[in-house]
Every structure is written in C-alpha cells, then in structure tokens.
Amino acid sequence: QVQLVESGGGLVQPGGSLRLSCAASGISFSVNAMGWYRQAPGKQRELVATITGGGSTSYADSVKGRFTISRDNAKNTVSLQMNSLKPEDTAVYYCNAVPYYLSRSWGQGTQVTVSS
C-alpha cells in the first residue's frame, strides 16, 4: 500500500552536488516526520536527515552543513540537496517515515556514487 519512489542519484566527482527527490503515497505525509536514510556496502543503514511535519530539521554529524532536507506537503514529496559530496557519501539513498516502521515498506532507493 505504501509507495516510496526515490530519484536523482548518479555519479558525481568529489565536491559536486546532487538533489534527490522522493514521491510518497499511502502514508499520512503531512503529519509524519520524513527522513533520508543511506546504506553503503558492508555498512548498517543510517538516518542522515530528518524533517518533521512542521518543518524542523536535523542531520547526522557526518552530513551536517553539507546536506539540506526539505518537503512539499501539497505534493507529498521530500528532497535532499547534497553539496560538497565526498567519496564516503557513496551509498544507496532511501526516503521513509521517521521512525521507518510506520510505513512497513521501503522503496528501491537511488544510487549515489562519488568518485573521480
């Protein structure tokens, strides 16, 4: 029932930028906190950015100052602007509710690769 569709990933050089987008359906988008998660090979999934229904944001220390999360409740979308990208940002990025178990589902994610 829940559908989460991420897009915008790709291959960029260190120092470059990408903007990820997520279209959500089947959840109470306007009242739920939403977040961007990422998982690199051999690593645990981590929450990197959160935005509440009221628009308050928080970030993991590893991305603070470089990433910005935003949402458009009218369109049921959430975005992640990523600047000053580093090789360690390479991962599959997913959007989901925060906490994630509220949705009972994950999308396919979008691959971000930072390499020269």
pLDDT, tens digit, for every residue of 103-113?
A: 889 999 999 99
Q: How many CB atoms lie under 10 A from the CB of residue 71?
A: 22
What span, in angstroms and rounded, lies between the C-alpha atoms of 84 and 15?
4
Give Cα 45 to chain centroid, integer Å.
12
Rounded mean pLDDT of 31-48?
Answer: 95
Query: Quick check: helix, strand or coil at residue 101?
Result: helix
Q: What is the pLDDT of residues 46-95, one digit of tens each?
A: 999 999 988 999 999 999 999 999 999 889 999 999 999 999 999 999 99
Q: Are 34 and 49 in contact (CB under 8 A)?
A: no
Give residue for tokens 């970030």. Answer: 59
Q: How high is the pLDDT of residue 81? A: 98
Q: Which residues of 87-114 are buried (b: 16+ CB within 10 A; e: fewer)?
A: eebbbbbbbbbbebeebeeebebbebeb
